[in-house]
Amino acid sequence: MQVIVEHILRISPYERLIILAELIIIGLVVYAVLNFLEGTRGERLFRGMVLVLFTGSLVLNLGVKTFGMDRIAYLYNGFLLAVLIVAVIAFQSEIRRALIRIGQTPLFTAGSRYQISRGVEEIVEAVFQMAATRMGAILVIERHVGLGEFIETGVRLDARITSELIKTIFYPGTPLHDMALIIRGGRLLAARVQLPLSEGDGAAGSLGSRHRAAIGLSSTSDALVIVVSEETGIISIALDGKLKRNVTESELRRHLKDALEAGRPQEQ
């Protein structure tokens, strides 16, 4: 501890300001990365790597300057190169998602409004056709709150939104027809996703599992959840923990447009 204090005291006030600015920038970058990875397995991996690198750099800098451990410093530089290679491999899906998000900034998204509009129409068409044939379905539109923990329970798709694909997913007897379909950033992200059920008291207790799952998820996130009842063909939407039944086509279209515009870019 005394060595650290002496090392800090030898630093000039100007250098201290530079170090403080660097620490703030590094902190902001780490916070941005953690926020981007929130709810995914990459978050835990990134935390571990940051801890290892920070501890190693701190110990090594003090050791080299105080005890002249040049050989360890040389080995550590090789270790950093290995960590970089491992990070590229381990975070390839997150890196791709980050590049996709950059590509979806206003500077590069001239066609995004058209894609959102087309996605809305494809979902509306699929939902009302499934309602007409009483094909049960539950669709989740992710908005600002990430649903990574639920997505990991399902089967990854990362497919373009089409009415035909949605109806195929929920067709009775297909491997993916059970549970929920999650949509993010204009993409069909994952199917057969297990959702939490709401408490079985009050009005929710008399509803089926799809409606209870819709209420449960919308209570803990800002997602828009669409439910098609296979018993009655009624279309319902859940938002902020409240269920609205007998939704009209115009109402569904309006909610979908708002939700898709707020949705995150697609994940791996």
pLDDT mean across residues, the chain:
79
Helix (H, G, I), strand (E, B) or coil at 237: strand
CB atoms under 10 Å from CB of 267, counted, come to 26
The CATH fold assigned to 111-262 is YojJ-like (1 (3.40.1700)
What pLDDT is attached to residue 244?
A: 92
What pLDDT is attached to residue 184?
A: 87
- The Cα 171–Cα 88 span in angstroms is 39
Whether the per-residue pLDDT at 245 is higher than 70: the answer is: yes
Task: List beta partners, residue 242.
Answer: 239
- List, for residues 158-212, the tens digit of each pLDDT value: 898 999 999 999 999 899 988 999 998 778 999 999 988 776 545 555 678 899 9
| DSSP track, 161-200 | --HHHHHHHTSTTSTT-SSEEEEETTEEEEEEE--PPPPS
Tell me the domain boundaries of the chain.
Answer: 2-90, 111-262
User: Predicted confidence band at 3 (pLDDT cuts at 50, 70, 90)?
Assistant: low
177 by Cβ neighbours in 10 Å (0-12 / 13-18 / 19+) ranks as middle
Q: Note the pTM of the prediction, 2 decimals.
A: 0.58
- List, for residues 110-131, the tens digit of each pLDDT value: 446 667 888 899 999 999 999 9
Output the CA torsion sign for 249, 250, 256, 257. Answer: positive
What pLDDT is attached to residue 50?
A: 77
What are the b/e assignments for 205-237, b being 16+ CB within 10 Å? eebeebbbbbbbbbbebebbbbbbbbeeeebbb
Q: Which two tokens stand for residue 215?
A: 């209420």
Q: Note whether 146 and 190 are within 8 A (CB).
A: no
Q: Which two tokens stand for residue 145?
A: 């709150």
CB atoms under 10 Å from CB of 28, counted, come to 10
What pLDDT is attached to residue 15?
A: 77
- The Cα 148–Cα 41 span in angstroms is 8
Lowest mean pLDDT among 14-18, 34-38, 219-223, 253-257: 34-38
Whether the per-residue pLDDT at 229 is higher than 90: the answer is: yes
What pLDDT is attached to residue 266?
A: 42
Whether the per-residue pLDDT at 135 is higher than 80: the answer is: yes
- List, for residues 8-59, the tens digit of each pLDDT value: 666 677 777 887 888 899 888 878 777 766 655 666 777 777 787 777 777 6
